[in-house]
Amino acid sequence: MPVFFSLLLLLWLDPMLPAQEAGPADAAQTKILALENAWNLAEEHKDVSALDSLLDPTLVYIDYDGSIMDKAQFIASIKAPALHPEQIVNESMTAHVYGDSAVVTGVYREKGERSGKPYLRRGRFTDTWVFVRGTWVCVASQSTLIAK
Amino acid sequence: MKGIGLSIIFLTAAALCAAQDTEAATKSKIIALEQLWNQAYKAGDTKALDSILDNAIVLVNDDGSVQNKTEFLASVKSSGMQPASQEQQVTPESLTVHLFGTAAIATGVMRVKGVEGGKPYTRRERFVDTWVNKGGSWVCVGTDATPVLH
């Protein structure tokens, strides 16, 4: 199945997954971790439409170099023709759910090419999600490089 | 009918004003808690820190290392206010709070002065703290700091 359609399917199914079956917190955890993986795929494939549905309009994004972006700036940075992310994977992830909000922390590894130069980064991330209008959206995301 | 319409407008306006007041009060509360955190950290007041940090908090430090609440409080206790501690002074430069019902994020920049390997350093760090309202009290459930490189 093309990646674009699998992302769409994942995002479409997300709010429909019954929260009652495994307990609301467990179900929310599963959903949010799936959304984290969908985010990585969306970035890899520059799928702006999928990213748009994952991110709240008020998103605060702190990049690994300490720069800050809003949602429009972040999506524009992903769309940049000079950026070619090859692989973004989460080595580990933990979600803590607090009712209508959740915090995910983990370690990611990203490799790709920017302006013809290869890059490889490994960092820790913290994402804050909130449940609004019947779906989970990310309101804050931050990454910090792991010192060697 | 006109009277009913006007009443509805007044009631809606009153409700909106009340909501804005509540939101402003909550944002002020979060800002006060952030200030309390800084003061408690500087003073090595682990009791105060304990009261504002959730038991499940995850703290990501500026070098990408991670701590839980117990580890963080132990590090504050052990460093005390000794000059040998890794971070001697934390000064907030800016702070913005966004509210989402029972959750809030506080984001800003802080200036950190310290000594590392015998050498003094000053660096700016951007942070995001996530707060949730638990049983009427706001507690921090996640914090991340990233050095500002440019």
Structure token pair of residue A44: 């890899």
- Cβ neighbors of A18 (< 8 A, separation 6 or more) are A27
Q: Quick one: pLDDT at residue B68?
A: 98
Inter-chain touch A142–B146, beta carbons under 8 Å: yes
Inter-chain touch B61–A144, beta carbons under 8 Å: yes
Tell which of A29, A56, A62 to mutate to test the B interface (max B CBs under 10 Å): A62
Res. B42 pLDDT band, cuts 50 70 90: confident
Q: What is the pLDDT of residues B91-121, one digit of tens each?
A: 899 999 999 999 999 999 999 988 878 889 8
A136 contacts A31 by C-beta, under 8 angstroms:
yes
Strands A135-145, A55-62: pairing is parallel
Tell me the ipTM for this assembly.
Answer: 0.86
Which residue among B56, B62, B103 places its CB closest to the CB of A101?
Answer: B103
Domain that holds residue B21: 2-147
Q: Tell which residue, A123, A128, A122, A124, has the closest CA to residue A104.
A: A128
Asked which of A46-50, B3-7, B31-35, B122-126 is least confident by mean pLDDT, the reply is: B3-7
Q: pTM for the full model? A: 0.86
Q: What is the pLDDT of residues A23-72, one digit of tens each?
A: 778 999 999 999 999 999 999 999 999 999 999 999 999 999 999 999 99
Residue with tokens 């702006």: A48
Inter-chain touch B60–A147, beta carbons under 8 Å: no
Q: Quick one: pLDDT at residue A24?
A: 77
B137 touches chain A (CB under 8 A): no
Tell which of A142, A143, A145, A148 to mutate to test the B interface (max B CBs under 10 Å): A142
Q: What is the pLDDT of residues B51-107, one digit of tens each?
A: 999 999 999 999 999 999 999 999 998 876 554 455 667 889 999 999 999 999 999
CATH number at residue B11: 3.10.450.50
Tally of domains in chain B: 1
The interface residues of chain A toward chain B in range 68-127, judged by CB-CB distance below 8 A, are: 68, 94, 96, 98-101, 103, 105, 123-126
Inter-chain touch B107–A140, beta carbons under 8 Å: yes
Q: What is the pLDDT of residues B14-37, one digit of tens each?
A: 666 666 679 999 999 999 999 999
Report the C-alpha dihedral over residues A18, A19, A22, A28, rounded to 10 degrees: 130
A-chain residues near B135 (CB < 8 A): none
How far A114 CA lies from chain B's nearest CA (Å)?
18
How far A4 CA lies from chain B's nearest CA (Å)?
30
B142 residue type, one letter:
G
Q: Quick one: pLDDT at residue B147?
A: 96
Inter-chain touch B132–A139, beta carbons under 8 Å: no
Which residue among A64, A140, A146 places its CB closest to the CB of B128?
Answer: A140
pLDDT for residue A5 is more than 60? no
Tell which of B60, B61, B107, B148 to mutate to test the A interface (max A CBs under 10 Å): B60
Looking at domain A3-145, its CATH architecture is: Roll (3.10)
Angle, alpha carbons A122-B144-B135 (nearest 5°): 135
A-chain residues near B102 (CB < 8 A): 98-101
B149: nearest CA partner in chain A: A65
Q: Quick one: pLDDT at residue A90?
A: 97
